[in-house]
Each structure stands twice: as structure tokens, then as C-alpha cells.
Amino acid sequence: MDWSWAVATGGALSRRQRRQLLTPLLRTAVAYSATRARLAVGRRGSGGVDLDALRWPDSKLARAAEEEARETCSADVLAHCYRTYLFGLSLAAIDGAAVDEELCYVACLLHDLNLGDPTPARCFAVVGGERAERFALDHGEPVDRAATIGAAIGGHLTGGQNEDLSHPGGVVSGGAFVDVTGTRIDELSAGWVDSLLTRYPRHDFKRRLRTYWASESAAVPEGRARHLTRTVGFPLLVRLAPFPE
């Protein structure tokens, strides 16, 4: 289930692939349960990148991606994209994973360009990944780096991607999982999370994401969004995420 598969199939899962995803999804579910248990007893880590000292990627591509995201995404999705990058970067630091900050930043900012605008029979992450790959090429990026951005976006819904934060797909997936379900949020400082949400408010994201998800699942019945709903009750996990909205 790599980038070539995503482009060729639009993200449609075969029966065998649905079975393959059960194991990583089970690991994610176990991690989610562990997070909820630690939160219930007040156990929190101290993770979180320094928001005041952070040096944001400032390359030509990074600036263009930020402009594209601001022009394209709704307020709730745009803030989610920034939070995804900061959550992912923080988890990578906790895991001791070295990351290409420019590629991760661009992939996070552009990872939901098509969320809420479903394409029949073609996953929003794949369509968004293709769009981001073309965007990177149009801005002078080498073919391999543009493909890495596309693959990171196209693969962020695939179970298990969030387990390795040494590549952009892992950062996008890991950061997004924190923001939509709260998985691993117990490893981050509560005060740091509060500061992050003050800078990048959620704008009723939990409710709006469930609406986007329902539309995506209806448009792509063999896709990963619907598979996540069927196997782990994804909309319920979103609703129960440890955020007020």
C-alpha cells in the first residue's frame, strides 16, 4: 500500500489489504486505550517543542505551501494542519527521530487539501497527495522530493504509518492522530497543549471532521476512511477525543 498503489487504485482496498490493516489498527487501538487510561489517572509527560523558539521552515517551497493552505483550507482544517505539524514534530523529538522539517512542514500543511471535498471512488488523501506532488514540482522541487510529499499525504490514513516518525508520512500520520483522537497526547505537557490550542484554535473541529468523514466514506466505499469507521469506530474516537471541540 505504497504511493504507486495509491495512485493506481485511488486508495481502494482489496479484501486482503483490509485484513492486513487489522494488525496495525489493533496496535493503534491499544495505544489509544493506554492513552485514555493514563489521562484518567492524571499521568502526563513533558513533551512539546518550544513554540516560542521554534524555527519554522522558511524555504521558497515552505512559504508557497503556507500560502496555498491559507487560500484553500477552511479555518478549522488550516488550524488542524498546523497542529498536525507541531504534534508530529513533538512526537518525533520524543521518539528521537530525525526528520526533514521542510518536507514534513509542507506535507502537514497540504495533507487535507481535499478533506470535505470528496472525489467519487478516489480517496481524499490520494487526491490531495497528487495535488501536493504537482504543487511541489511546479515550485521546482526534484521529482523524488515531490513524490515523498505526495506519498506522505497519500499514506497518512494507512494504519501503522504513525508508528515511525523518521519520515514525513509518519509525522503527518502521527501528528494527525494526536489531533483527531488524542492518541499519545499523554506524552505531551498539558500546559504545552493548552498553549498550542490557544495559538491554533480548533474551530469546532470534532463536529466538522465527523461531517467530512461521513461524506468521504459515502463517496469512497472501498476506501480507508470507511474502513476505519467499520473497524475501529473512527467517528466515535473523534467525538471522544480529549479536546473540548
Give per-residue pLDDT as tens, 192-233: 999 999 999 999 999 999 999 999 999 999 999 999 999 999
Residue 12 counted as domain residue: yes
**In the predicted structure, residue 164 carries a pLDDT above the cut 90:** yes
Nine cell digits for residue 99: 526528520
Number of domains within the chain? 1
Residue 245 counted as domain residue: no
pLDDT for the residue 176: 98
**In the predicted structure, residue 56 carries a pLDDT above the cut 90:** yes
Q: Which domain, by its residues, includes 37? A: 3-239
Residue 175 counted as domain residue: yes
Residue 141 counted as domain residue: yes
Residue 244 counted as domain residue: no
Gap between the Cα atoms of 15 and 107, Å rounded: 29
pLDDT for the residue 61: 98
| Mean predicted confidence (pLDDT) in 134-149 | 98
- As a whole number, the mean pLDDT across the chain is 96
**In the predicted structure, residue 28 carries a pLDDT above the cut 90:** no
Residue 155 counted as domain residue: yes
pLDDT for the residue 172: 98
Model pTM score: 0.96
- Cβ partners under 8 Å of residue 103, min gap 6: 145, 148, 149, 152, 168
**In the predicted structure, residue 173 carries a pLDDT above the cut 90:** yes
Residue 215 counted as domain residue: yes
**In the predicted structure, residue 1 carries a pLDDT above the cut 90:** no
pLDDT for the residue 213: 98
**In the predicted structure, residue 118 carries a pLDDT above the cut 90:** yes
The pLDDT tens digits of the residues spanning 92-115 come to 999 999 999 999 999 999 999 999
pLDDT for the residue 29: 87
Residue 194 counted as domain residue: yes
| Mean predicted confidence (pLDDT) in 156-185 | 96
